[in-house]
A and B are shown apart, each in its own frame.
Chain A
Amino acid sequence: MSSRSAWRALHYSAKRRISQPTTPYRCFSCARQSLEQAKPDHERMTHFGFTNVPESEKESRVGAVFSSVASSYDNMNDLMSLGIHRLWKDHFVRSLNPGTPVANRDADAKDKGWNILDIAGGTGDIAFRMLDHATNINHDMQTSVTISDINADMLAEGRKRSIETPYYNTSRLSFVEANAEHMPHIPDASIDLYTVVFGIRNFTDKQAALNEAFRVLKPGGVFACMEFSKVDNPLFDAIYKRWNFSAIPLIGQIVAGDRDSYQYLVESIERFPSQEEFRGMIQKAGFMIPGRGYENLTGGIAAIHKGIKPIVQS
């Protein structure tokens, strides 16, 4: 009897346990379950470095990278490029020659200087150089630059730096936090020069950004982009890759205390299209390509791409 009652008690308790599971259902294999979960938010993927992430996530992830590097951005650029990035940026600005020289200005003085839009220029590196060139070389006091960046931390860094420039708190320099793929606050055909320097590789949809650039530029306006690119020489390429994948994350870890952000940086450089492919994208947006369309810097580590919005023949 006692054994029977003991069996019954066990039996009941076992039954009770089945009818009221305290832990959720745990299947032997989780693959099916995870597939079912992923299905409802099935969406386009984009690359984030070497990994693929949903498009909605890339923006925030890139945002996190640049928020974390904003403060040490300048030091890190110097260390990673051995100071060459300054030469590139100077060359970029000099070749664009912003500002109208006094001698070329019309007597009626109706032109108000160039309207420059610097996309992804949060820390103001390019914007200050543009304004310096326009002011000191061409004596053009009207040319103005709008710095647009998606990342508030980078913009804050730029604002902080602008205090030390003569353009602080003037109408020649303004800051906007915006996504370059969609800029409804900028009217059509209002910009003379659109620049994006070392920024476009972080965009989620590069073609959309190029189309938006085409929209905001005046006919005859120039799209100028400087971005990391592909090295031609195989020997130099091997050295460069070694530097990129070994040295830069290490420098990031030691100087900025952030290895992952710099790992992302080198991976995104590797994933960026080659000179010819990117030229094709610029052409696809509707731009005219001057000459070969791009200029290699330091053997192709970086390249300057240019496109001109055609004038509609009336």
Chain B
Amino acid sequence: MASLVRLPAPRRAPSSIPSICSAPTPLATRQFHTSGQLRPSPSKVTTAIKPTFKNPAYTIRPYHSPLHPRLPPHEYTNSQTAILTASLPHIPSQGFTNAALTLGARDAGFLDVSVQLLPRGEFDLVLFWLASRRGLLRGKVEEGALFTRAAAERGREVGGLSVEEKVKILVLERLRLNKDVKEVWQDALAQMSLLGNIPLALTELHALSNDILTLSGDAAVDGSWYARRLGLSAIYASAEVVMTRDPTPELVETEAFVERRFADKEALREKVEGVGSWVGFLGSTAVGVGRSWGLKI
């Protein structure tokens, strides 16, 4: 036992996990589902833990089993993607309407009638817009420019950004991706609020908040996993509504709104935690008092 190199204790601080994950050599340090033959020897692990960074901004490697392929970002076929991609440039002028789809179909070399390929019509366009923007956001984080720029604006290192700050940066960046369609975003909101479309819209909202939290390095695996996603979804969805009425070109008002909502979230979290610890203290006191009276608790 003494000859084995002692591994450092696993730390939960989110900033440390990415540094382990982003080892340039794929030595399967975090591939929990790999079989025994792939398990590295302890000496290899120690070398992997001290990596030399080429790109320190790329600090994210989302956990997934190497035995399962990564899920596709959307479920559309090639022809559907061709029509939808060609429709995206028409959205700012035409809105999220059938007209944009028809023009897109024509640009892609299809006929007017070919929009029948999309059984949900305009809502498919909305979903594709959301999914593609989500992919863009992920791409921006993975190529590393986003957090570097944000850190430079604050005059700090990338590693010094907290999870909360990263979440805020990502939410604002995602809102800025909607800047071109700000005028017609109400179309999309209306489509998403139709009864039959609500489940898919909520799924997409969850996927977005999940992506934002994962990309910002949130590693919570307790009950707050749900609370964080719920809170972030609420903030993002309300900010989208505010954005449709924001007259400033640089989304100053929306930004201020998001700041206020994050402050609210923080205040709410403190209060909930305070009430929780108060209840816990009262409970343990009551148990203690009961025991001192001889109750068999």
Contacts and interface: CB of A to CB of B under 8 A. Distances in A.
A311 B113 contact: no
Contacts, number: 56
A222 interface: yes
Contact of A103 (B80, B99, B109, B111): B99
A295 B114 contact: no
Interface in B113-170: 113-114, 116-120
A96 B79 contact: no
Given A97-B98, A220-B111, A221-B113, 13 more contacts: A96-B113, A100-B102, A104-B99, A104-B103, A104-B112, A192-B111, A192-B112, A220-B105, A220-B113, A290-B117, A291-B119, A308-B116, A311-B110
B137 to A, nearest CB: 26
Contact of B102 (A98, A104, A222, A292): A104
Nearest to A223: B116
A308 B111 CA distance: 10
Contacts of A295: 119
A193 B117 contact: no
Interface of B is mostly: helix
Interface string B60-88: 00000000000000000101100000000
Q: Which of B77, B105, B116 has the most CB of A within 10 A?
A: B116
A310 interface: yes
Given A103-B99, A288-B77, A222 B113 contact: yes
A290 B113 contact: no
Q: Which of B77, B79, B109, B112 has the most CB of A within 10 A?
A: B112
Contacts of B117: 288, 290, 308
A292 B117 CA distance: 11
B116 A96 contact: yes
B119 A290 contact: yes
A218 B114 CA distance: 10
B111 A218 contact: yes
B106 to A, nearest CB: 8
Interface of A: 96-98, 100-101, 103-104, 114, 192-193, 218, 220-222, 224, 288, 290-292, 295, 306, 308, 310-311
B112 A114 contact: yes
Contact of B114 (A100, A220, A224): A220
29 contacts: A96-B113, A97-B98, A100-B102, A101-B102, A103-B99, A114-B112, A114-B113, A192-B112, A220-B105, A220-B111, A221-B113, A222-B113, A222-B114, A224-B116, A288-B77, A288-B117, A290-B80, A290-B116, A290-B117, A290-B118, A291-B119, A291-B120, A306-B119, A308-B79, A308-B114, A308-B116, A308-B117, A310-B79, A311-B79
A134 to B, nearest CB: 11
Contacts of A104: 99, 102-103, 112
A221 B119 CA distance: 15
A104 B111 CA distance: 12
A305 B130 CA distance: 28
B44 to A, nearest CB: 47
Contacts of A101: 99, 102
Given A104-B99, A310-B79, A220 B110 contact: yes
Nearest to B105: A220
Which 10 pairs, one residue from A and one from B, show the smallest C-beta to C-beta distance? Answer: A291-B119, A220-B110, A220-B111, A220-B114, A290-B117, A222-B116, A222-B113, A192-B113, A104-B102, A290-B119
Interface of A is mostly: mixed
Contacts of B118: 290-291
A156 to B, nearest CB: 30
B81 to A, nearest CB: 12
Nearest to B108: A311
A220 B99 contact: no
Q: Which of A114, A224, A288, A306 has the most CB of B within 10 A?
A: A288
Interface string B91-103: 0000000110011
A288 B80 CA distance: 10
A100 B80 CA distance: 20
Contacts of A193: 113
Contacts of A222: 113-114, 116
Contacts of B113: 96, 98, 114, 192-193, 220-222
B111 A221 contact: yes
A288 B79 contact: yes
Contacts of A218: 111
A7 B284 CA distance: 132
A193 B114 CA distance: 9
B114 to A, nearest CB: 4
B161 to A, nearest CB: 42
Q: Which of B79, B99, B109, B113 has the most CB of A within 10 A?
A: B113
Q: Which of A97, A193, A220, A306 has the most CB of B within 10 A?
A: A220
Contact of B119 (A220, A292, A310): A292
Contacts of B120: 291
Contacts of A308: 79, 114, 116-117
Contact of B109 (A96, A220, A292): A220
A310 B82 CA distance: 12
Contacts of B114: 220-222, 308
Contacts of A306: 116, 119
A228 B219 CA distance: 53
Contacts of B119: 290-292, 295, 306
Contacts of B105: 220
Nearest to B109: A311
A101 B119 CA distance: 19
